[in-house]
Amino acid sequence: MASREFLKTLGYARLGDVSAQQKLASAYLTGAFKTPIQPSNALLWLEKSYFSIGNQVLKKLGLDESDYFSQGLQSPEFLEMLEQISTVPLASTFNSPAFSFGWDSFWKIANANANADTHIRAKFATQWQLAELLLHPDKKDLQIELTKWLAKKDGKAEFASLQKMAKQFLLNLTESENAFYIQAKELLVQLQPKNETLSSLWQDWLSKKNEGALSQAAELGLTVAKLTLGLRLAQLEGVASSKKKAAPSHSNASLKKAAHWLELAAKDGDRDAWFALGEIYRKPQFSGYNATESNRCFDNAADLGHAQAQFRKGANLWRKREKIEETVRGLQASYWVWQAHQQGVPEAKDLLVKILENVSNPKGNEWFKLATFADLALNHAEHKLDEEWILMCHRLIIANQFNLSKAELLLCEVGQLQHEHCVVVDIRWELPKILPRLIQIDTTQQRRSLLAAGKVFAGIESGVEGNLRQRRYRFDRVNKWLNATFFKTSVEATTA
Cα 177 to chain centroid distance, Å, stands at 13
Q: How far apart are CA 212 and CA 220, in angstroms?
A: 12
Q: What is the DSSP letter of 96?
A: S
Return the pLDDT at 289.
93
Q: What is the DSSP letter of 461?
A: P
Is a pLDDT exceeding 90 seen at residue 336? yes
Q: At what angle do helices 468-495 and 368-378 cross, to 10 degrees?
A: 90
Return the pLDDT at 59.
60
As a residue count, the chain comes to 496
Lowest model confidence (mean pLDDT) among 24-33, 52-61, 307-316, 359-368: 52-61
Per-residue pLDDT tens over the stretch 137-186: 899 889 989 888 888 877 655 788 889 999 999 988 988 888 898 888 88
In 3D, which of 325, 330, 328 has the Cα closest to residue 314?
330
**Dihedral-angle region of residue 146 (phi above 0 means left; psi in -120 to 50 means alpha; beta otherwise):** alpha
Cα 1 to chain centroid distance, Å, stands at 31
Q: How far apart are CA 330 and CA 44, in angstroms?
A: 44
CB 333 within 8 A of CB 340: no
Identify the residue with better confidence: 246 or 31: 31
At residue 479 the predicted structure's pLDDT band, cuts being 50, 70 and 90, is: very high
At residue 259 the predicted structure's pLDDT band, cuts being 50, 70 and 90, is: very high
| Run of H or E including 425 | strand 422-425
Sign of CA dihedral 457, 458, 459, 460: positive
Return the pLDDT at 119.
75
Per-residue pLDDT tens over the stretch 200-252: 888 889 999 999 999 989 998 899 999 999 999 998 865 554 444 444 545 77
Listed by start position, the domains of the chain span 4-188, 219-304, 305-354, 362-495
At residue 436 the predicted structure's pLDDT band, cuts being 50, 70 and 90, is: very high
Is a pLDDT exceeding 70 seen at residue 348? yes
Q: How far apart are CA 449 and CA 452, in angstroms?
A: 5
Return the pLDDT at 17.
84
| Run of H or E including 239 | none
What stretches of 209-287 show up as alpha helix (H) in DSSP? 211-219, 223-233, 252-267, 271-280
At residue 379 the predicted structure's pLDDT band, cuts being 50, 70 and 90, is: confident
Average pLDDT for the chain: 86
Return the pLDDT at 437.
94
Q: How far apart are CA 93 and CA 18, in angstroms?
A: 22
What stretches of 405-443 show up as alpha helix (H) in DSSP? 406-411
Q: How far apart are CA 242 and CA 191, in angstroms?
A: 26
Q: How far apart are CA 300 and CA 79, in angstroms?
A: 33
Return the pLDDT at 244.
43
Give every CB contact of residue 206 below 8 A, 6+ residues apart in sequence.
none
Return the pLDDT at 82.
83
Return the pLDDT at 194.
61
Q: How many CB atoms lie within 10 A of CB 111?
A: 13
Tell me the Cα Rg of the chain: 27
Return the pLDDT at 474.
95
In 3D, which of 315, 230, 316, 216 has the Cα closest to residue 275?
230
Return the pLDDT at 384.
84
Identify the residue with better confidence: 231 or 495: 231
